[in-house]
Structure 1
Amino acid sequence: MQEQIDAVDTQILLPLVRQVLRQESAVLNQWTKTPIHSSGTFGIVTRFRGEATVNGEPQLWSLILKVVHNASDAPLDRSNPSNSRYWQREPLVYQSDLLTDLPDGFAAPCCYAIQQQESAALWLWQEDIVENPAGKWSAERFALAARHFGQFNALFLTERPVPTHEWLGHNLLRAVAKEAEASLLRLPELQTHPLVGRIFPPDIVAANQQLWQEREHFFAVAEQLPQTICHRDANRRNLLSRIGSAGQVQTVALDWEDVAVAAVGEELAALTILAPALREIPLHDAEEFDRLVFAQYMAGLADVGWHGDATTVRLGYTTACLRYGLALPAMFIDLALDESRHAALEARNGQTVAEFADHWAEVQRFIFRRIEEARRLMAR
């Protein structure tokens, strides 16, 4: 795969650069490429940038190449559209009209070309978004993103019918639970392991087991709520800020492989949980952050003309937190058991393994408080 990327030449780049510059007369000069993400499991991402000549004047350009493929070493089976990470979903999103005529505050990168490769891979040549302003987001900027996501979700509650494409995710809460089952069932027997027991203390294990027993009820409730199209992975690493052509602040959402038909409010689960989980927002501020983000999401829904009941939206959000409650054991059990990975974990996160474990235990308590709220709302 990397050999093919290294072989990218003028013949491949020139028509793309002409699209970027909107100049059919552009002549390509020199360029460089920089790996951004190269694990190869969910995609290889490379930035190409360089200089072209237009009417005798130099102009700079840049492009993102995202290679998606059904990697044989992927932790999940990605070959079936019913799975949570179907490998062709993002290219199919860009080949559809799903991302056309979006609200002014919400955007996705332009996709200039999708190229089929002999290696059963697809190359997505995308717009390179320059963040403006760059830097750490405040709670208020996350809340503005929630408003923009509310506007996007409201499109499919008001102006547009919910698409029925087979490749769109459907009932993905069920898919996530199925993928998490083996790890969840291992959790009780691993309680004596010091690090596993620290990430998943007894109260978390009990909460996980209760949620597992109740999962079908949660699924049924979520599927009866108003349905829309959700990005479903609104974490800071997938969100960029820029100024639009009319001077408005925009939220640009990257990585559309998780997009699905889902309940109104489900979009908030990723945004509200992952910001404190990934330490973008202090964990001790998570409850206030929840309230701020939810209020702005409701405002975004109203901006596009959807004035549904806040309790309904809150139920969609809190029910969808099941996704993270059930999925975290699959993410962390093997990491906890494999001591050879702990030094890299500490270096990457700037905290000891014990601090990492304690942080994620508290994140889970935050998640399960949302789950308990969902139970109360269901009981009304």
Structure 2
Amino acid sequence: MTAYEVDVVVVGGGGMGSAAAWRLAGRGVDVVVLERFEAGHVRGASHGASRIFRVSYAEPAYIRLAREAERSWRELEADSGVSLLTRTGGVDHGRTADLDLLAEAVRAAGAPGEWLAPEEAAERWPGLRYDGRVLFHPMSGRLHADDAVSALQADAARLGAVVRHETPVTSIVVRGDDAVEVVAADDVYRAKRVVVAAGAWTEKLLGGLVPLPPLRVTQEQPAYFAPLSDVPWPSFVHHLGDGSLAATGFPSGVYGLGTPGEGVKAGFHGTGPVVDPDERDFQPEPAQLRLLRDYARAWLPGVDADALTPISCTYTTTPTSDFVLDRAGPVVVAAGFSGHGFKFVPAVGRILADLALTGERPGARFALSRPAVTT
């Protein structure tokens, strides 16, 4: 067995782990990233060509985090020379109560936004049908997930980090407040801190070691739909139903965005079956696809609802959908991001670096053992 001595080990080379390594290496820390799969793999939650960037949240904590993330995305673009964040504008429409909360929170945070009549929105973005008035956010856009992870890892390596793919971690052993051992195959890494950003594998690695909240892992079924014409697409969130969602015929609200070279991505939010990440079949789920086609026929007149490419991805979520960003002894935990986390990647990297180096916590909302949190 080969032993390595480093300052920090990062377990997981997706968006969050790569961002943590980028920020740690930028502070002169000796850091190694251990990723169980090959570069560019599709088994986690950080692959693909498109993620929504937006600041339209009802919670001030997430608005602040998104605004920090936008600045950090631009910093990474400047450092790497890679274009990652494309501003397209974004729209929310549907359930009035949700829109009012978003509008008030964004206004209070000083972020730009405006109300549009559905007719005005249809003139700008004819590919969508609108459910009542529309809340428009000019800061919203699209992130290229694959390119972002590659850029983070490349810049982290430039700053001195070591990134090792196809290196699955088998155990983490705490030896003291400033001592942890991470075992991967025949190697052991001894460090002061370990940052675990393992997505769907978090419970398998940390269960019993730190007091995790419940983490639900599901296999989700979005899809790319073929556009019927070359029209602009904003990112969009449709808050379905003023009554029960069951009355709408759909299992949740719907998100989507245009993705050059792929089509128009659309999906339900957190409605897939619970899975073991090591036992996924990656096969399209017929019932979800049928409902997604039905949604496209009703609400996406700019696409061919029968010309679609299924996507398989995982969500890892907490009961409140809040992230876990906390530390227990020498173990820093980053979990529960799926469904809305990728936009925050570089800001989360900064938080994870702070947790590892100084123990500074981002607030009770993100704690391992969290009380009920109100905004």
TM-score (norm 2): 0.32
Task: Return the structure number with greater strand share.
Answer: 2
Structure whose alpha-carbon radius of gyration is higher:
1
Higher RCO structure, 1 or 2 (CA under 8 Å, sep 6+)? 2
TM-score (norm 1): 0.32
Task: Return the structure number with greater helix share.
Answer: 1
